[in-house]
Amino acid sequence: MKKILFASLSFLSLLSFGQHSTLRFTDQPIQLEHQSLLVVPFETKMYLSDINRDLAEQNNLNSEEIINRFILGIDQSFFYTFNKKCDVTSFYQLEDAESDADLKYIYNNITLEYELASPNERKKKLSLKQKEEDSKYKAGEIADGQIKTYRDERERYMKAVISDPKMLDSMHLKFNNEFFLFVTELDIKNDYTDAIAMQSGGYNRMIKLHYTLYHKNGEILTTGISRTTFPSTQNDINEIISNYFPILATNIFNDLFHLNSEEKTKKKLWR
């Protein structure tokens, strides 16, 4: 068993403002309580950041070390948050060689796809005209004999797609888990939308955590983004992990375990 000293995560920060956008693929409640959950960390290439130079200088870490700290921090946050109601299995409970081999097998049998996320969890059907306009917006157009493209600022989430269902069977047999929670991407970006805050140096940064939840039978249940902000003056990696990563995990936990009847009627099937 790999010996990992789990850092003490501060949950006082959970009172801070957090957001999430969830695209549910089922209208039925997700029965996760008292079930086994395998958390699959994101690949190192799926870390996108504007602040690595600041983190490296403040913490005396290189890029690889920063990513590994973040992967472990997210894993710990999910463990402490979901372990309240689930039997959580972490790859950090395995020996290095075994963990690396299993993760390589998983990564080789999933594909990652960006999907358009509807703002404010809007799930209404598009009219034919809206669909035509949406298609044109993404594809661009030809005008005056030239191809014109447009920058698409709409939010997208990274969805895990199982390319070989046998992988789920194999991991289920090994870990005896009912559910797979794939963490697919971590983004940390500076928020430059507030010009006044930028001038004063008090702008925020946005953390986005992309995820996809599967049942062992291959059914995708929910996918989306959990997000929160933290001040640009904060570059201590331990403080970022302990104060803000639990918010990301709690956003997802609350969505899965505290879906009231009114919310259930609002959430429609997204395909």
- Structure tokens that stand for 178 in this block: 């009912």
Task: Look at residue 47 and tell me if it is in a domain.
Answer: yes
CATH number of the domain enclosing 179: 3.40.50
Beta bridge partners of 204: 231
SS3 of 208, please?
Answer: strand
* pLDDT above 50: residue 266: no
Q: Which residue has the tokens 């796809």?
A: 113
Q: What is the rounded CA–CA span in Å between residue 33 and residue 72? A: 24
Strands 141-143 and 36-40: unpaired
Q: What is the rounded CA–CA span in Å between residue 51 and residue 217? A: 39
Would you place residue 153 in the very low, low, confident or very high pLDDT band (cuts 50, 70, 90)?
low
Residue ranges of alpha helices (H) inside the chain are 52-59, 63-82, 96-108, 128-139, 166-175, 195-200, 237-257, 261-266
Task: Look at residue 219 and tell me if it is in a domain.
Answer: yes
Task: Look at residue 171 and tell me if it is in a domain.
Answer: yes
Q: What is the reported pLDDT for 105?
A: 95
Look at the chain and report how many structural domains it folds into: 1
In one-letter notation, the amino acid at residue 45 is K
Q: What is the rounded CA–CA span in Å between residue 38 and residue 106? A: 12
* pLDDT above 70: residue 34: yes
Of 20-29, 71-80, 178-187, where does mean pLDDT reach its minimum?
20-29
Q: What is the rounded CA–CA span in Å between residue 144 and residue 13? A: 54
- On whether the CB atoms of residues 22 and 121 are closer than 8 A, the answer is yes
The rounded mean pLDDT for the chain is 78
Cβ atoms within 10 Å, residue 69: 18
> How many Cα atoms occupy the beta-carbon half-sphere of 14 within 13 Å?
15
- On whether the CB atoms of residues 160 and 25 are closer than 8 A, the answer is no
Task: Look at residue 254 and tell me if it is in a domain.
Answer: yes
Task: Look at residue 31 and tell me if it is in a domain.
Answer: no
Q: Which residue has the tokens 């390319």?
A: 163
Cβ atoms within 10 Å, residue 260: 7
Would you place residue 38 in the very low, low, confident or very high pLDDT band (cuts 50, 70, 90)?
very high
Q: What is the mean pLDDT of residues 172-199?
A: 86
Task: Look at residue 229 and tell me if it is in a domain.
Answer: yes
Task: Look at residue 241 and tell me if it is in a domain.
Answer: yes
- Structure tokens that stand for 175 in this block: 């870990």
Task: Look at residue 148 and tell me if it is in a domain.
Answer: no
**Domain housing 177:** 36-119+153-259
Q: What is the reported pLDDT for 218?
A: 94
Q: What is the rounded CA–CA span in Å between residue 179 and residue 215? A: 5
Q: What is the rounded CA–CA span in Å between residue 207 and residue 244? A: 9
Measured torsion, CA atoms of residues 90, 225, 256, 101, in degrees rounded to the nearest 10: -20
* pLDDT above 60: residue 147: no
Element (H, E) at 211: strand 204-215
Would you place residue 174 in the very low, low, confident or very high pLDDT band (cuts 50, 70, 90)?
very high
CA 247 to chain centre: 12
- Structure tokens that stand for 29 in this block: 């409640």
Would you place residue 22 in the very low, low, confident or very high pLDDT band (cuts 50, 70, 90)?
low
Minimal CA–CA distance to 44: which of 100, 113, 118? 100
